[in-house]
């Protein structure tokens, strides 16, 4: 634990491989700024220095789940900064990781942090499944549109109402595509 005995506020600028952790007093005095490798043990050791139940803020960026779980397990009150609410950081003259973490901490300390909801792990799992399904559906829709486009370019009228149903697939199997230009790409 640090030499400061009061309540501490901690800002974490989380990246893929490394993160910067800034600790501040209730008055905004910076106690430390540390760069760590992203590792649950390293993060836990740094949060221990912030005393009992510190308020910790991290931005809802790529891979925040593990950090929020480690911080909550260490007894921290975790706040998730909404990325759209802190997008003004991009317009600062001085932009670096320590400054980002310190600014997040200041927003939290002053009660001006735009927060996002931290979903519990079971809800996060369900969200991931829904996101993955949506991506697969979008991919499938794009591929179907490409098939329709190829047929339209070849001037083939589709008589089936559902090109990818039983009748439509039978039609696709019988359809021969000819290449209108001998050196066209993609090859026919």
pLDDT along the chain (188 residues), means of 10: 83 95 96 96 96 95 93 97 77 80 94 94 95 97 93 84 89 80 63
Q: Cβ–Cβ contacts within 10 Å for residue 12, how many?
A: 28
| pLDDT given at position 117 | 94
Do 13 and 20 touch, CB atoms closer than 8 A? yes
Q: Which domains does the chain have, with CATH numbers?
A: 9-118 (3.30.420.10), 122-174 (no CATH)
pTM above 0.85, yes or no: no
Q: Is 69 helix (H, G, I), strand (E, B) or coil?
A: helix
Type and span of the H or E element at 48: helix 40-48
Tell me how far apart the alpha carbons of residues 102 and 92 are, in angstroms, rounded to a whole number: 13
Phi-psi region of 33 (alpha: psi -120 to 50; beta: other; left: phi over 0): beta
pLDDT at 61: 87
pLDDT at 1: 47
DSSP 67: H
Structure-token pair, residue 62: 């790529």
Which residues have C-beta within 8 Å of that of residue 30, sequence separation ≥ 6? 22, 23, 24, 102
Q: What angle, rounded to 10 degrees, do the helices at 121-153 and 64-73 form?
A: 170
């Amino acid at each position: 634990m640090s030499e400061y005995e009061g309540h501490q506020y901690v800002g974490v600028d989380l990246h893929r491989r490394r993160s910067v952790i800034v600790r501040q007093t209730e008055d905004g005095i910076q106690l430390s700024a540390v760069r760590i490798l992203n590792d649950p043990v390293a993060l836990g050791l740094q949060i221990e220095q912030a005393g009992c139940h510190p308020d910790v803020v991290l931005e809802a960026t790529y891979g925040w789940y593990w950090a929020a779980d480690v911080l909550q397990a260490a007894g921290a009150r975790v706040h998730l900064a909404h990325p759209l609410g802190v997008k003004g950081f991009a317009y600062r003259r001085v932009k670096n990781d320590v400054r980002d973490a310190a600014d997040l901490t200041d927003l939290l300390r002053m009660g001006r942090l735009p927060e996002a909801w931290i979903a519990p792990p079971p809800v996060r799992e369900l969200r991931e499944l829904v996101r993955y399904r949506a991506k697969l559906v979008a991919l499938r829709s794009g591929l179907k549109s490409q098939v329709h486009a190829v047929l339209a370019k070849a001037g083939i009228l589709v008589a089936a109402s559902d090109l990818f149903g039983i009748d439509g697939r039978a039609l696709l199997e019988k359809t021969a595509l000819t290449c209108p230009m001998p050196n066209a790409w993609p090859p026919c």
